[in-house]
Amino acid sequence: MSGAQTAYRPRRSVLYMPSSNERALEKAKGLMVDALILDLEDAVAPDAKEQARENACAAARSGEYGRREITIRVNGIGTRWHDADLAAACAAGPDGIVVPKVNSADEVRQLVAAMESAGAPDHTMLWAMVETPQAMLHCEEIAGASDRLAVLVMGTNDLAKELHAEHVPGRQPLLTGLGLCLLAARATGTVILDGVYNNVKDTEGFEAECLQGRQMGFDGKTLIHPGQVEACNAAFAPSEAQVEEARGILQAWEEGAGSGVVTFGGRMIENLHVETAHRVLDTDAAIRALEQESAG
C-alpha cells in the first residue's frame, strides 16, 4: 500500500504550463492555483526541449512560487529526452516529477530507482500519468508499487484516443477507466487528479465536468488555461453549507457521546459521517491556509 500521503494538501487545481514560455512561468507566480505542472512534453516543440528543461528546473529551484506545489512533467520512458529530463528534474528537487504513460508497476519501480540513482531529494515524489487501456486495467498495481508514488494523473485525451472514443458531455466512454483508477487510488491511499477539459471557451461545459469529477471522488483536476483555475477551485472546495454541516455533525457527535444513538438534522450519525465531517473541515482549513499564503 502506498504511504505517500500524510497531512491533506490541496490539489484542486493543477495547471499545465509550457516551460518553453518564460512569460507564462512568471505569470504563474501570481495565480491562485494549488499546483503547477511545468511541462517538458506535449506543450514543448522538439527544438525547444533543452531550453524548456533549463527553465523548469530554474523555476523549481527558485522558491518564488509560495505554497504552490511545483512539479515537472518529463518526456516519457523510451523517448530521447527522458533520461536527461529525469536527471535534471531530480537535481532541481521539485515537489513532484510527472511521468506520462506509466503502464505498469515495473515502470513505477524503474522510475523510482532512477530517481534515487539521480539523487532526488526525499520530498520529490513521483506522479504517474495513467492514460492507456493497459494502465486502466493495472492501475491498482501501479498505485501500490512504491511509497514514492504520491499522485495518479488521468490522461483522458490519450485514453479517448486509445479507446477510439469520442469526447462527449458526461464522458460516458471514459467512465469505466475513470472508475477503475478511482478505485485503485482509494484502495492504495493515493491522490488522484481528473483529466483536462479541452475547450477553454466552454465555461458551462467545464464547470459541469468539474462537478462530475468532484462527485465521482477526484481530489482535483488538471487544467490547460489559467482562466479555468477559479471555477475549478470552487468546484473542488467544500461549500459553506458543507462546512457548517460538518461542524454540526461533530458537535452532535461530541454531545451525544455514550448515548448510543446520535442524530443531526433528523438523521442518525455514525462513525462514517464523523470521518467525512473531519475530512471536510481538514480540507477547508488547508485550502484557507493555502489561499492566505498565496495571496500574501
What's the pLDDT at 1?
Answer: 41
Please, are residues 167 and 160 in contact by the beta-carbon 8 Å criterion? yes
pLDDT of residue 7: 66
pLDDT value of residue 296: 59
C-alpha cell at 121: 531529494
Q: Are 4 and 190 in contact (CB under 8 A)?
A: yes
What's the pLDDT at 284?
87
In this structure, the chain runs to a length of: 296
| pLDDT of res. 295 | 64
Q: What is the pTM of this model?
A: 0.90
Spatial separation of the C-alpha atoms in residues 220 and 223, rounded to whole Å? 10
- Mean per-residue pLDDT of the chain: 93
The answer to whether residues 123 and 93 touch, using CB atoms and an 8 Å cutoff, is yes
Question: Can you give the pLDDT at residue 156?
Answer: 98
1-55 pLDDT, tens digit per residue, is 444 445 678 999 999 999 999 999 999 999 999 999 999 999 999 999 999 999 9
The span from the CA of 148 to the CA of 188, in Å, is 12
Cell numbers that stand for 4 in this block: 505517500
Query: Domains of the chain, with CATH numbers?
Result: 13-235 (3.20.20.60), 240-295 (no CATH)
Residue type for position 15: L
Low-confidence ranges of the chain (pLDDT < 70): 1-7, 258-260, 294-296
Query: By C-alpha distance, which of 110, 208, 203, 222 is closest to 155?
Result: 222
Handedness of CA 147, 151, 152, 158 (dihedral sign): negative
For residue 3, what pLDDT is reported? Answer: 43
Closest C-alpha among 93, 192, 173, 108 to residue 145 = 108
Dihedral, 11, 15, 20, 25 alpha carbons, nearest 10? -80
For 168, the enclosing helix (H) or strand (E) is none
Closest C-alpha among 141, 145, 156, 37 to residue 97: 37
